[in-house]
């Protein structure tokens, strides 16, 4: 299905408003909408098939506006009710050290374009998957982008089709990932050299403002 760009942009903005993002940003609803409205011009049409893991664009709000600890609990599984959570294996303060490995286009909000869940990399060593994605000229998703993906499209996160977020690293061998645990989305991490049959590697074509 090809997305209606303006309608889909409006849906994503309304979704963030409904989930309390204006308050997280210290703004009222009008102020939040004014913050993200300029991004409408960068949205593009494309194949929209979240169940197959394909999304033409995502509205991403960065941790400078809303922290990971606050946005992850605002996710749920598709038709689920339990809030997402950050796994306890992230020691206190460690999320601040998992930073983007690429320069982001804007400090507050931007669009991620041509997103793929990356289930073709299930069972692959994460380091190998990241190398293949780089060779295709694509970019790895950050933690915030992964949260945005399941916030706007919870259908993407399903059993045995979860994904790593190689775009956020902290200088060690850990690679963040989102999968399902206790009937809810969980932000955790896996080792860069350990493959998992249920964990792919998400990627995107580009970022835009």
Q: Sheet containing 203-208: give its strands across.
A: 54-61, 109-116, 203-208, 139-140
* Mean predicted confidence (pLDDT) in 153-161: 97
* Mean predicted confidence (pLDDT) in 157-170: 97
Q: What's the pLDDT score for residue 118? A: 98
CA distance 82 to 101: 31
**pLDDT tens digits, residue range 102-151?**
889 999 999 999 999 999 999 999 999 999 999 999 999 999 999 999 99
CA distance 185 to 78: 10
CA distance 177 to 125: 13
CA distance 67 to 47: 30
Give the chain's mean pLDDT. Answer: 96
pLDDT at 1 over 70: no
* Mean predicted confidence (pLDDT) in 156-170: 97
Q: What's the pLDDT score for residue 47? A: 86
SS (H, E, C) 53-70: CEEEEEEEECCCCCCHHH
**Percent composition of the chain: helix, strand, coil (DSSP 3-state, to 5):** 35, 25, 40
Q: What's the pLDDT score for residue 3? A: 67
* Mean predicted confidence (pLDDT) in 1-14: 89
CA distances for 95 relative to 15, 86, 169, angstroms:
25, 9, 9
Give the distance, in angstroms, between the CA of residue 24 and the centroid of all CA atoms in the same chain: 18
Q: What's the pLDDT score for residue 189? A: 97
109-116 and 54-61 beta bridge pairing: antiparallel
Rounded to the nearest 10 degrees, the angle between the axes of helix 5-18 and helix 143-152 is: 100
**Contact call for residues 110 and 60 (beta carbons, < 8 A):** yes
Q: What's the pLDDT score for residue 176? A: 98
Give the distance, in angstroms, between the CA of residue 72 and the centroid of all CA atoms in the same chain: 10
Secondary structure (3-state) at 188: strand
CA distance 161 to 52: 10
Strands (E), the chain: 54-61, 85-86, 99-100, 109-116, 139-140, 162-164, 168-169, 174-181, 184-191, 199-201, 203-208
């Amino acid at each position: 299905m090809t997305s209606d760009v303006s309608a889909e942009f409006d849906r994503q903005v309304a979704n963030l408003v409904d989930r309390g993002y204006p308050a997280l940003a210290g703004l009222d609803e009008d102020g939040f909408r004014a913050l993200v409205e300029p991004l409408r011009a960068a949205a593009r049409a494309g194949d929209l098939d979240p169940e197959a893991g394909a999304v033409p664009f995502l509205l991403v709000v960065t941790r400078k506006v809303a922290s990971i600890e606050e946005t992850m609990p605002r996710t749920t599984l598709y038709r689920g009710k339990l809030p997402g959570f950050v796994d306890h294996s992230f020691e206190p303060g460690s999320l601040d050290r998992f930073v983007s490995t690429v320069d982001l286009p804007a400090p507050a909000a931007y669009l991620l374009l041509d997103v793929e869940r990356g289930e073709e990399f299930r069972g692959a060593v994460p380091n190998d998957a990241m190398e293949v994605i780089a060779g295709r000229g694509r970019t790895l998703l950050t933690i915030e982008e992964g949260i945005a993906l399941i916030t706007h499209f919870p259908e993407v996160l399903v059993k045995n089709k979860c994904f790593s977020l190689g775009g956020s690293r902290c200088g060690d061998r850990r690679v963040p990932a989102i999968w399902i645990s206790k009937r809810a989305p969980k932000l955790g991490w896996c080792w860069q050299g350990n493959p998992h049959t249920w964990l792919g590697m998400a990627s995107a074509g580009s970022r835009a403002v």
